[in-house]
Chains A and B, each alone.
Chain A
Amino acid sequence: MFRPFPKRSRAHRGGPGTQARFPKCRVSWPDAQISGVCRARYAWGIDSPFGRADQFEIGSREGETLSNTAPLLSLKDFRLRFRGQDACTIDRIDLEVARGEVLCVVGESGCGKSVTAMALMGLLPEGAAEIPSGTLSFEGLDYDLTRERLPADLRGGAMAMIFQEPMTSLNPVFRIGDQIAETVLRHRGGTRAEAETRALDMLRRVGLPSPEARLRSYPHQLSGGQRQRVMIAMALANDPKLLIADEPTTALDVTIQAQILELIRDLQHEAGTGTIMITHDLGVVAEIADAVAVMYGGQVVETGPVAQVFDDPQHPYTIGLMESVPRLSGAGGRLTTIDGAVPAIEAMPEGCRFRTRCAFAAPACAARPALRDVGSGHATACHFAPLEAHLRVAG
């Protein structure tokens, strides 16, 4: 479904033409990137004031054919229901990540992003949730999620995770060198000394200052950004094939966010690690994603290569998300908001789960829309996609 994109050029090709190049875009690019990260990048002169337009060189990507290689990870028809609830918190989602690709899962709080990640890693508490359907294929092996959890050997080995809260995700009673060495020992075996060499090597790669001394530090002696670097070192210590990053920059301040994102992207590019990045920050998506999956109420409502989705969002929810990003340039005034909040799982409407808040809702929305392809791997779950055609008809 998604294709791995060629390594992005770091050239600064931004310019005043972004809006012109994406005429259909409802949100102009320079504005969409006014997240903290981009602000910091701009302040440092990494990007032009018009954002990293180099990411969205659609021309260079057109004409590429879909890669024939099987995706690294593919999750199919995944449903998850928490004990004691009737409706599924995660309702039939499909996700695919290719080798070396960054898939960003976006959506507001409570839409099931983190739960999906936890379920993928097999981290949900035993008995807390049931999985009525879902198959996962990872590195060519298929797992029936309804019956089995992922083998523990995968966790931290081929599939690693970075958590949201670096401040509390390290064991306070062990030195960080020991903690990194522990995950190496667990998955690679070998001697303690080898594992510690590897730990030192990883600390160097994630750019911690004076790594030899850091090896012997306790977590409380490190700042939040440093701890997140340690978490990344831990996650990447065993050269995972897939990295799941659950809002890795949310707890960090703006300047550190940019550094950490850059670090994750660089390391991920180096090793060709497939990455699922969970975030609610569209700036992060713009910064790092190859493909994006927009989730709402436990369903994937829109998915596709990031350029297509951002350029021409088709699902009303995605459009609302993009509109609600603050802009630096252009007219001030109130931000666009999406009325209401995500309904509680018991109150989720039948059919399209967004219809209670959707400006375009119609009787047809009582039936669940399937994810339909609207071109170039861009798919959306809306009866009225492509919206332009329908809006024109509606007059």
Chain B
Amino acid sequence: MVAATDPQAVAAPDALPKPENRVWKKFRRHKSAMLGGVLVVFFVVIALLAPFLPIAAPEATDWSAVRQAPSAAHWFGTDEIGRDVLARLIWGAQASLLAGVVSVGIAVLVGVPLGILAGYFGGWIDAIISRCTEALLAVPFLILAIALAAFLGPSLTNAMIAIGISATPLFIRLTRGQVINVKVEDYVESARAIGLPTRMILTRYILPNVAPPILVQATLTVATAIIAEASLSFLGLGQQPPAPSWGSMLNVAKNFLNQAPWMAMYPGISIFLVVLGFNLLGDGLRDALDPRER
């Protein structure tokens, strides 16, 4: 808001940086955020390029190379039936990222509209939505996801749905709170004063103004969702063998921790790095989008 009284703004309006640039500029100066961004981009690129990388097929077994330590032939070693750990990690990245993004997508698509309805209209709509939200929030996130995944049946798709539903109340809550703040802003009132229908006010005035914190929360929740997917796969409720997933790799590897530690180490490091990446990215976004520091 400082820019409003900036004499430059009067003299040369075009010389001012656009707000997108400003957020990007701030983000770029944020070292840990950039590190997070690089990590996330790295894993995304690897996952997308999996079919084209010169790696072994992730499900190809090799009985002559069972539980081999990392070597030139198998950079990250092999698992208990001779599959290449690196190849499985790379293909597993697809499952993990997909699970993270899709489940958060579900949570956002369901949670944000419900939150907007609850926050904007209040009254009995708010009462119903909020009570349901609170009921869901009363159950721990992972327990709820496990219960839902078990109910839906074990598969990656169902795991995503389960995680998505479990994360929805978070977004309802957050959106509702933000909408309650924004709906009393003068510009919403002036939107009503120019006769805009409620639908337009919600989509053009409320939604864009509550979006930044939702974006931050979504980024942070991707990290949580990736851990949740790994946990479900670890428990056998997510990605089904023989398809690779970091969680199920850990599940098998726990039996060979002494004989073949690489089997557990690399998936563990991968989960750590990708979760760290999303968390740093989320923190950086929060700082960059913070209106108080503009």
**Chain A residues, Cβ within 8 Å of B193:** 121, 123, 155-156, 160-161, 163
Judge whether A156 and B195 touch: CB under 8 Å.
yes
Judge whether A213 and B14 touch: CB under 8 Å.
yes
* Distance (whole angstroms) from the CB of A21 to the closest CB of chain B: 41
Would you give the 0/1 interface string for A164-188, flagging 1 where the beta carbon is closer than 8 Å to chain B?
0101111111100000001100110
Judge whether B5 and A223 touch: CB under 8 Å.
yes
Judge whether A223 and B4 touch: CB under 8 Å.
yes
User: How many residues of chain B get a CB closer than 8 Å to chain A's CBs?
Assistant: 29
- Beyond A173-B209, A220-B4, whether A186 also contacts B194 by CB under 8 A is yes
Judge whether B192 and A171 touch: CB under 8 Å.
no
A217 at the interface (CB under 8 A from B): yes
A62 at the interface (CB under 8 A from B): no
B208 at the interface (CB under 8 A from A): yes
Which residue of B13, B189, B197 contacts A221 across the interface (Cβ within 8 Å)?
B13
* Distance (whole angstroms) from the CB of A117 to the closest CB of chain B: 10
A222 at the interface (CB under 8 A from B): yes
Judge whether A153 and B190 touch: CB under 8 Å.
no
- Beyond A168-B186, A182-B194, whether A221 also contacts B3 by CB under 8 A is yes
**Chain A residues, Cβ within 8 Å of B13:** 210, 213-214, 217, 221
**Chain A residues, Cβ within 8 Å of B25:** none
Which residue of B9, B190, B294 contacts A169 across the interface (Cβ within 8 Å)?
B190
Judge whether A152 and B197 touch: CB under 8 Å.
yes
Interface residues of B in 1-35 (CB under 8 A from A): 1, 3-5, 9-10, 13-14, 16, 19
Judge whether B191 and A171 touch: CB under 8 Å.
yes
Classify chain A's interface size: 35 or more
**Chain A residues, Cβ within 8 Å of B123:** 127
**Chain A residues, Cβ within 8 Å of B189:** 123, 163, 169
Judge whether B4 and A183 touch: CB under 8 Å.
no
B185 at the interface (CB under 8 A from A): yes
**Chain A residues, Cβ within 8 Å of B151:** none
- Beyond A163-B189, A214-B13, whether A173 also contacts B194 by CB under 8 A is no
Interface residues of B in 86-143 (CB under 8 A from A): 123
Beyond known contacts A171-B205, A171-B208, A226-B10: 8 more, CB 8 A cutoff: A157-B195, A167-B1, A172-B209, A182-B196, A186-B195, A214-B13, A223-B4, A223-B10
A-B CB contact pairs (8 Å), 12 listed: A123-B192, A169-B190, A171-B187, A171-B209, A173-B209, A182-B204, A221-B4, A221-B9, A221-B16, A222-B4, A222-B9, A223-B5
Interface residues of B (CB under 8 A from A): 1, 3-5, 9-10, 13-14, 16, 19, 123, 185-187, 189-197, 200, 204-205, 208-209, 294
Q: Which 5 A-B pairs have the closest CB atoms?
A: A156-B194, A156-B195, A155-B195, A183-B194, A173-B208
